Amino acid sequence: MLRPTAFIAKTLERLEAGERVALVTIAARTGSAPRAPGAKMLVDATGRVIGTVGGGQLEDICIQQAHRCLKTGKPAWIDLSLDAAAAAGMLCGGAVAALVEVLAPGSTDIKGDLLHFRSILNGLHSRTPLVRVVACRGFGRDLSTAAKVHGVCGQKASASGDFALPPRVEDAADALLHSSIANAAQWLPNELGGYFLEPFLPAPIVYIFGAGHIAEALAPLCVAVGFETVVLDDRPEFANSLRFPDADRVDVVNSFAGAVDLLGIDDASYVVIATRGHAWDSVVLAAALDTRAGYIGMVGSHNKRDAVFAALSHQGAAPTALKRVHCPIGLDIGAETPEEIAVSIVAELIATRSGSTTGRMPRKRK
């Protein structure tokens, strides 16, 4: 899975290299269409594609339209019923709407295009929430678009396509700035077309405390599904790049005590606690409860959870704080091995990121 930061960086690379590319984004969907609003891909004149909007016939249609847009230099809107396309092998059902924008470095908008996407990339790097707003007028091949970046307190980070937002659109954009849910892009239609709002929020980071067998299986899965992944342990023979070649960072800490306080954990942070013992798990959990972490999970059985919670309650932890903790960690899939447990954990992380409701793992954990 290509992270938003990497996708925007590749978009900028193409613009800076003087290439013209088509940006295809799922703007709306109904039913069981494969990808949520915000899914995107980049198409160039040679046929190279970066990203995906769902594969199959849907993607083929979008690529064909992207090539037409590259030839005309004009954007387009695609409405596609997946029910009607069942004869072509698309059995998902529902419908999707896709927006095709042409980014043309050779046009008079080159400065605006570059500033536009540079501002988004800078926001992603600095963990500053931004919302890209695309105003659409008309539909199909008669579509015209203008884009801007909406920031905190209405600050505009782009000089490209500057325009005022209607109150309801500005309110929706402001709400997205404070959302912690991925795939929260919105299409707000009106009689002339509508507005597509796509949040670019601080990248979700998974902090894995403990570099044992579960962490070794979990880290590459987290990376594969688009999380930035940091592994921490106080044992250098465990916390090293040889054991975790895919992790974004591997930190050897002097002690788990105080390690949480050095990380700047925010509501886009996911804390997974899997140290080598109950005592260190309890230390990390106590510190994590004092953060705004969007997810806190701890490996352990019901008995371990009850013992740790009782100790933390005695130290003053509020019952409401302890309810934030996913323990036993992971979804209930009957996992036994470290690899299976890792799958159950990353499934719960994905569910949290997407805003899905899930069950808890009732089984015993070592």
Amino acid 69: pLDDT: 94
Mean pLDDT of 37-64: 91
- 186 and 258 share one domain: no
Closest CA to 207 of 129, 295, 279, 282: 295
pLDDT (average), residues 298-325: 94
Judge whether 366 and 281 are in contact, CB under 8 Å.
Answer: no
Residues 258 and 216 in one domain: yes
Q: Is the pLDDT of residue 189 over 70?
A: yes
Tell me how far apart the alpha carbons of residues 228 and 219 are, in angstroms, rounded to a whole number: 9
- Band the pLDDT of 113: cuts 50, 70, 90: confident
pLDDT, tens digit, for every residue of 239-251? 999 999 999 999 9
Q: Please give the DSSP secondary-structure letter assigned to residue 117.
A: H
214/189 same-domain check:
no
89-100 pLDDT, tens digit each: 555 567 889 999
pLDDT of residue 84: 54
In a domain, 83, yes or no: yes
Residue 78's DSSP bridge partners are: 98
Residues 365, 297: contact at Cβ < 8 Å?
A: no
Q: Is residue 366 part of a domain?
A: no
Question: What is the pLDDT averaged over residues 36-64?
Answer: 91
User: Within this chain, do residues 209 and 196 fall inside the same structural domain, yes or no?
Assistant: no
Q: What is the pLDDT of residue 35?
A: 83
Average pLDDT over residues 174-194: 85
Residue 363 lies in a domain: no
On average, the pLDDT of the chain sits at 87
Helix (H) or strand (E) holding 123: helix 110-126
The pLDDT of residue 198 is: 94
- Report the sign of the C-alpha dihedral through residues 114, 29, 179, 203, in that order: negative
Tell me whether residue 360 is in a domain.
no
Question: Which position has the higher pLDDT, 148 or 230?
Answer: 230
Domain-terminating residue out of 151, 172, 200 = 200
DSSP 142: G
Q: What is the pLDDT of residues 207-240, one digit of tens each?
A: 999 999 999 999 999 999 999 999 999 999 999 9
Q: What is the mean pLDDT of residues 315-319?
A: 92
Has residue 138 got a pLDDT over 90? no
Q: Are 74 and 137 in contact (CB under 8 A)?
A: no
Mean pLDDT for the stretch of residues 115-125: 89
42 and 179, same domain (yes or no)? yes
Local structure of 291: helix, strand or coil: coil
Share of the chain above pLDDT 90, in %: 65
Q: What's the pLDDT score for residue 111?
A: 55
What does the pLDDT look like over 51-74, one tens digit per residue? 999 888 889 999 999 999 999 999
What CATH number should be reported for the domain holding residue 321?
Answer: 3.40.50.720
65, 76 contact by CB (below 8 A): yes
Residue 361 lies in a domain: no
Structural domain that includes position 19: 4-200
Same domain for 195 and 209 = no
Contacts of 46 (CB under 8 A, 6+ apart): none
Domain boundary pick from 147, 169, 200: 200
Where among 176, 200, 224 does a domain terminate?
200
Residue with tokens 């670019």: 200
- How far apart (Å, rounded) are the C-alpha atoms in residues 8 and 125? 11
Same domain, 195 and 212: no
Which residues, including other chains, have CB under 8 Å from residue 117's CB and lie 6 or more apart?
Answer: 8, 11, 12, 15
Helix (H), strand (E), coil (C) string for 52-108 = CCCCHHHHHHHHHHHHHHHHHCCCEEEEEECCHHHHHCCCCCCEEEEEEEEECCCCC
**Structural domain includes residue 359:** no
In a domain, 81, yes or no: yes
Q: Is residue 170 part of a domain?
A: yes
Residue in this structure with the two tokens 């199909």, named with its chain if needed:
140
* Same-domain status, 308 and 291: yes
Query: Tell me, what's the pLDDT at 363?
Result: 42
Give the per-residue pLDDT at 183. Answer: 63
Q: Does 264 lie in the same domain as 147? A: no
Same domain, 114 and 215: no
How many domains does the chain contain in total? 2
Same domain, 21 and 160: yes
pLDDT of residue 356: 77
pLDDT of residue 159: 36
Q: CA-CA distance, 366 to 210, in Å (whole number)?
A: 14
Same domain, 175 and 240: no
